[in-house]
Amino acid sequence: MNFQDMVIALERHWASYGCVIAQPYDVEMGAGTMHPATFLRALGPEPWKVAYVQPSRRPADGRYGQNPNRLYSHLQYQVVLKPAPEDVQDLYLRSLGALGIELLDHDLRFLEDDWEAPTLGAWGVGWQVFLDGQEISQFTYFQQVGGMDVPVVSAELTYGLERIAQFIQRKDNVFALVWAPGVTHGEIRRQEELEHSTYAFETADTVLLGQFFEGFEREAQRCLDARLVFPAYEYVLKCSHVFNLLDARGAVGVAERAALMGRCRALARRCAELYLVRREEMGWPLLRGPIHAA
Amino acid sequence: MPRKAAGSARRSPGRRRTTHERPLRLVFEIGTEELPPEAAWSGAQQIREAAGPALRAARIPFGEVVAYSTPRRIVLIVEAVAPRQEDRVREVRGPAARVAFTPDGRPTPAAEGFARAQGVPIEGLVRRATPQGEYVFATQVSPGGPTIRALSEALPGLAAGLVFPKPMRWGPDAVRFARPVRWLLALLGREVVPFQFASVVSGRTTYGHRMLSPGPFRVADTRAFESALQRHRVLLDPAGRRRVIVAAATRVAGEAAGRPILDPDLLEETIQLVEWPEAFAGRFATEFLALPREVLITVMQHHQKYFAVERPGGELLPAFVALRNGGTRGLRTVREGNEWVLRARLADARFFFEEDRKRRLETRVPELAGLVFHERLGTMAEKTQRLVSLASRLGRALSLDAETQQHLLRAAGLSKADLVTQMVRELPELQGVVGGIYARLDGEPVAVCEAIREQYLPRGSALPRSEAGAYLALVDKLDTLVTALAAGLAVSGSQDPYGLRRAAQGVVTIVLDRHLRFNVRALAEGTLDETHRSLDSGARAAAVEGTMDLLRQRLRTALIDAQISYDTVDAALDAGCDDLEDAAARARALWAFRQRAEFLRLYTAFDRAWRILPPRFDGRVRPETLQLPAERRLLSCLEDVRPRVLDAQKRGRYEETLAHLAVLAEPVDQFFTDVLVMAEDQIVRANRLALLAGVVELVRPIADLTRIVVGEGKPSGSS
């Protein structure tokens, strides 16, 4: 199965289950969890079912397109089911069937793994899912988001698309993956990897990035003061990405590192609190009746 | 982590069956999503331990109690459960007999009122003498109900009582558990015990193996429970899975002409990762054998949960043994998949190894400035500098020979450099080990490599074996203690978030293992003076005292664990424990001496002398004013014994020291018999006190005998 067929299969699978198929968010972020469709929607009592692809940027993981397994940017397929259905594990296993994985021919394990995102004030417990010794997904029951206990527990399924594709296509090198008939991952993404790695490790203007951080933080605060959750949250995402760039460049000192992360977390928390206030004022719109029936 | 699943038999003592109905078997299964292995082990152990008290509290007679766990279930099985509870018999005291009955024995209204209130006939009241006089008693018998009803309350209580290190919520219910509870099977014989827990209703339905027998199935009778699970490809008993895993792993490794390295931790974990174990052997390319053995084993064990395979001679084979959760179908695909994954992992490791090896280890030391040790404790570069300085102080304190000292300093300087290698970043559990390997490849002396490798020991029962390794491990921990306490980090109650107790334990273990004689306090003070110049004197003193306090606590525990009575230990430590090994030697000597007859005489003499001395007495003996023979005799004995005591003490022969001191017991006794210490004449009195002070001063550096509790003298864990 080529890469894009995998994505299409997952989209169809989760759409038919009743998920909203959301689009990747158009702000840089380090993980699919940071997409407002997860971070904000996981808050409060409103039910929610969503699935989407999200490019995840990890500047420090960039390897100039040279390492067969490391990428500046990889793709996560993210599913959030809120509240977590009782048969959520079975739902997940069936989705593997959609990828052509016949489970009886494989060895599948749910291995204990707790997840934490300190910049989001979020944590949960769950598993890494291993297929024949390869980690293919992360499975998490959210316990806290934005520093607050969640009133309704969401199940989050994160598929590492490149990893699964390498496993299915038996490619030792991520760039050798067949993305679409006749086109490889490397042909599409290698230049981008090289340039982003070069930028993150060599070119980035750390003074300017530091100013960006300050500016984005101020703007996020202004938005929060103006009760604008989504614009504020976008600036939090930008702060977080700028922090990751500075970190990759080795420009963040020891004490500063913890301080910058703390500032991101404080902003994320304010966004979460304001989101809850705003949703409550609106009467929790998604609580009313079946929004998207299975 | 609890290693035993279950199994110890318990009998409820002295229970009579209250009915003639046949006893029944109870099966209570908590069905869950995949439990962390530790939670599975501990859940079974907890429910087995809690079951007996809970059943007794519910007055349910029962027989043997066992508990099992798999990744998806915690199961309690109780044999020979009585179908009915025992009757509850309760005696209530009523009015005094003289109030309840007239002198001719007829009941008064007081007796009638009491009988009515207790619901017993008046003839049922009995009179009995008590320490307060004769009283009237009523005996109430409430007959026991059906056990199944009592279990409806007891079983959810048992489930709710399980405690897990990181519990979670998953549904509308506020219940917390290690992982979501998805079904509850609760059967007494053929009957369902009805109740609800975590929004799940109990029943007779359970689930087999997730892949091999996915649907639910019903269990008619508890007798068939284990066999039914087995038919649905679940081996319930962890001990059974262990046997299967060990046998299968050994068999498939044998097919690869080797034997599996059955790492105990991995084995325990694997037992709780599979319900139906199936082993297979896979291979990897021989070229990867060029990687260090520890790296290969770590990648296989920690990251892939495979058992490494070695030849009978001990060298690794390019093979591994993995356990699959169930079935032989597609086993070839599974093996190929695992081999493919391992190949990628090993290729990564080789890449890191080759990258790391492009530079000598020592060239990485400057990079440690960018690596935090702890937010408030600075960087690893700073830690390295402190270690070098502390190692140099320790070397001087121990008068190490020049070569050992040189090796220790070199190892201290290189000790943390592997933390900035790619290999340790990827495989953090290999810190120290990788440094040792790279140092060896750089051509560093063997002693330096060994010291780097052993710096994080002791771990479990593994102690540093090399001399420089022991010293480096010691200063690594001492630095953590002193620096953390200087920064205001502390131990509080049972909490030890910075691992300070563990560090203190490590120092004490190494000191005692190698009998290292040096003054820890002086070392701690010296290093703080050098590395924390700006620290104010209060904080500095607090850091030193805090360090000594933690070390003393761990030393005390270690000595009590070595079967020395707590009061003996306290007596020795109160005489000083700045030198830990010396304090331990005094405690051991005092303990040995305490088994001898002279001990009690020495103790009594010391105790009497010490009690009569005013606080801070510092008079000197003036021999010319001594009047009585007993006085003169005590002085001459003291002068006779003193050089022998001091000499034995200097040579650290404390039992001998105590034997010399015991010679003083008799003259002290005689002194107290013949001499009035608190004489009217001030000069005479001061002189007599000075004589006794001479005795106390001689004993006090060995042990503070006032801490001895006469009659204790038994090895004891109490405090």
- Span B118-159, pLDDT tens digits: 888 888 888 888 888 899 999 888 889 999 999 999 999 999
Q: Decide which of B208, B231, B254 is a domain's last residue.
A: B231
Burial B665-684 (b: 16+ CB within 10 A, else e): bebbbbbbeebebeeeeeeb
Q: Decide which of B172, B199, B231 is a domain's last residue.
A: B231
Q: Give B33's contacts (C-beta < 8 A, 6+ positions apart).
A: A89, A110, B72, B179, B180, B182
- Closest CA–CA distance from residue B207 to any residue of chain A (Å): 13
Please check whether residues B281 and B220 belong to one and the same domain.
Answer: no
The CA-CA-CA angle for residues B190, B192, B198, to 5°, reads 150
**CB count in 10 Å sphere of residue A118:** 13
User: Chain A partners of B166 at a C-beta cutoff of 8 Å?
Assistant: 114, 125
Q: What is the model's pLDDT at position B1?
A: 41
Whether A133 sits inside 8 A of B337 (CB atoms) is yes
Closest Cβ–Cβ partner in A68, A110, A153 for B170: A153
Q: What is the model's pLDDT at position B531?
A: 83
**CB count in 10 Å sphere of residue B133:** 9
Q: Tokens at residue B188, please?
A: 């007494």
* DSSP secondary structure, B662-706, as one string: HTTHHHHHHHHHH--SS-SSHHHHHHHHHHHHHHHHHHTTT--GG
Check pLDDT > 70 for residue B3.
Answer: no
Whether A86 sits inside 8 A of B340 (CB atoms) is no
The whole-angstrom separation of Cα B221 and Cα B227 is 11
- The fraction of chain B above a pLDDT of 90, given in percent, is 73
Whether B375 sits inside 8 A of A134 (CB atoms) is no
- For testing contact with chain B, the best of A94, A102, A132 (most B CBs within 10 A): A132
Q: Give the residue from chain A lying closest to B35, CA to CA.
A: A112
B543 in a structural domain: yes
**Which of 317-356 (B) contact A at CB < 8 A?**
322, 324-327, 329-330, 333-334, 336-338, 340-344, 347-348, 351
Print the domain residue range for B97: 88-142
B5 in a structural domain: no
Please check whether residues B244 and B382 belong to one and the same domain.
Answer: no
| B345, B285 Cβ separation under 8 angstroms | no
Please check whether residues B182 and B260 belong to one and the same domain.
Answer: no
Please check whether residues B294 and B325 belong to one and the same domain.
Answer: yes
- For testing contact with chain A, the best of B32, B33, B209, B301 (most A CBs within 10 A): B33
B103 in a structural domain: yes
The whole-angstrom separation of Cα A29 and Cα A50 is 18
**Structural domain tally of chain B?**
5
Please check whether residues B180 and B301 belong to one and the same domain.
Answer: no
pLDDT band at B26 (very low <50, low <70, confident <90, very high): very high
Please state the domain extents for chain A. Answer: 3-200, 204-286
Please check whether residues B96 and B73 belong to one and the same domain.
Answer: no
B441 in a structural domain: yes
Whether B372 sits inside 8 A of A257 (CB atoms) is yes
| B23, B83 Cβ separation under 8 angstroms | yes
The CA-CA-CA angle for residues B382, B386, B387, to 5°, reads 115
Predicted confidence (pLDDT) per residue in A36-76, tens digit: 999 999 999 999 999 999 999 999 889 899 888 889 999 99
Whether B211 sits inside 8 A of A134 (CB atoms) is no
Q: What is the model's pLDDT at position B719?
A: 39
Predicted confidence (pLDDT) per residue in B219-267, tens digit: 999 999 999 999 999 999 999 999 999 999 999 999 989 999 999 999 9
Q: What is the model's pLDDT at position A207?
A: 92
Q: What is the model's pLDDT at position A87?
A: 95
- Average pLDDT, rounded, for chain A: 93
Predicted confidence (pLDDT) per residue in B611-643, tens digit: 999 888 888 888 888 888 999 999 999 999 999
User: Chain A partners of B205 at a C-beta cutoff of 8 Å?
Assistant: none
Whether B347 sits inside 8 A of A67 (CB atoms) is no
Q: Any idea which fold A204-286 has?
A: Methane Monooxygenase Hydroxylase; Chain G, domain 1 (1.20.58)
Q: Tokens at residue A42, please?
A: 């996981």
B580 in a structural domain: no
This model of the complex carries an ipTM of 0.93
Whether B372 sits inside 8 A of A109 (CB atoms) is no
B537 in a structural domain: yes
Widest Cα–Cα separation across chain B: 110
Please check whether residues B520 and B539 belong to one and the same domain.
Answer: yes
Phi, psi angles (nearest 5°) of residue A253: -70, 175
- Closest CA–CA distance from residue A179 to any residue of chain B (Å): 20
B285 in a structural domain: yes
**Which of 66-105 (B) contact A at CB < 8 A?**
71
Please check whether residues B369 and B490 belong to one and the same domain.
Answer: yes
| A236, A27 Cβ separation under 8 angstroms | no
Please check whether residues B80 and B179 belong to one and the same domain.
Answer: yes
| B30, A86 Cβ separation under 8 angstroms | no
Check pLDDT > 90 for residue B13.
Answer: no
Closest Cβ–Cβ partner in B166, B304, B334 for A114: B166
B587 in a structural domain: no
Q: How far is CA B181 from CA B151, B356, B703, in A?
A: 19, 47, 58
Q: Give the residue from chain B lying closest to A103, CA to CA.
A: B211
Please check whether residues B58 and B32 belong to one and the same domain.
Answer: yes
Task: Select A3-200's CATH number: 3.30.450.20, 3.30.930.10, 3.40.50.10860, 3.20.20.80.
Answer: 3.30.930.10
**CB count in 10 Å sphere of residue B13:** 6
Bridge partners of residue B191, in order along the sequence: B188
- The fraction of chain B above a pLDDT of 70, given in percent, is 96
